[in-house]
A and B are shown apart, each in its own frame.
Chain A
Amino acid sequence: MYTLLTGPAFYIALGVCIIGMIVRFYQYFNGLSWQLDRVAYKEYPAMGFKGAVRSIYKWLIPYGTYGWRAQPVMAAAFFGFHVGAILLPLFLIGHNVFLKEKLGFSLFFNLSTPVADWLTWIAVISLLFLLLRRLVLPEVRIMTDRKDWGILLISIAPFITGMLARYQVGDYSFWLTAHILTGEIVLLAIPFTKLSHVFLFFASRAQLGMDFGIKRGGLKGSKMAW
């Protein structure tokens, strides 16, 4: 099982994820239509680029937009989870060692163990908060469907299994295998589920940034981050 998961399954999951993201990214931008969307994308490339970058950048900054500031607790939980969800898979030392072995390279830097531990705890607690929020707030509950629970489950599983392995609760090799399996499930799910937001976030924000930058006020000098 372990050999399968760290061998062919890993390459397949990673390949599907990366190729899937590229294809969907291409499809997204290819499907934009100046007349249907009513945005002259190609006529104002500079304003469009500026709008897109501003829209992405500001929303990536904690409390960088009016929207984040309007919901400070949600923003804290959101960033608490997402910072860990991005940094840990990419820069955890164990992951980098694994990458080096499998692909012959590792990524930029390694997180120190205390930092990684902190990020993990913060991410898990934040995700539990988001889960609780889904249960408690009527305005979130009304929209929550089985898919949303599925995504939460898929997203939290690698964290939980990773922690159990890290703290060696019970059978280490079992949790490690479970961790790799759940991680690969995430990779496979990214192009085909709502998890596609990990890359389509940039596409969608870029589009709205272009929309406002080119057409809805950008040319009038509005400095708003849409």
Chain B
Amino acid sequence: MTGNRFVTQAFGEYTLAGFANCSAKNVKTARPVNLDLFSIKWPVTALVSIAHRISGVLLFLAMPLLLYLFELSLSSEAGFRRAGAMLASPMPRLVGWLLAVALLYHLIAGCRHLLMDMGFGETWRAGKAGAQAVIAISVLGAILAGMLLW
């Protein structure tokens, strides 16, 4: 396979022989590495993928806040009303909307993942269409969530 060369946008030019070496001894030297994420193209599938990660990290950091709201709202009638009143002021309402959108997006993009795991939509065309569908459904959901909150 030596001499069989190919090119990718992200990694530039490297050889199959170099790739084969990855499984052998010199793992670190043979791997193509490009660390500048802004120098590569961002197709819609990549945007949907990175947004899935960002929304996941956001939701992870919001876990204590969400648990606090559950605890407060389940504690008593007064606590339930206090939790509701919190969402009435502008800034917390905006945070609530952002977290609702993050959750909605993470769920929808996650469903796409599960469908692809089962073998649906794995071609480039279907993958692109699926990614566009995730964005479209999320935008609709974000508008709906906004209408419910305001």
Bound pair: A and B?
no
Binding site for A on B (CB under 8 A): none
A residues within 8 Å of B by Cβ?
none
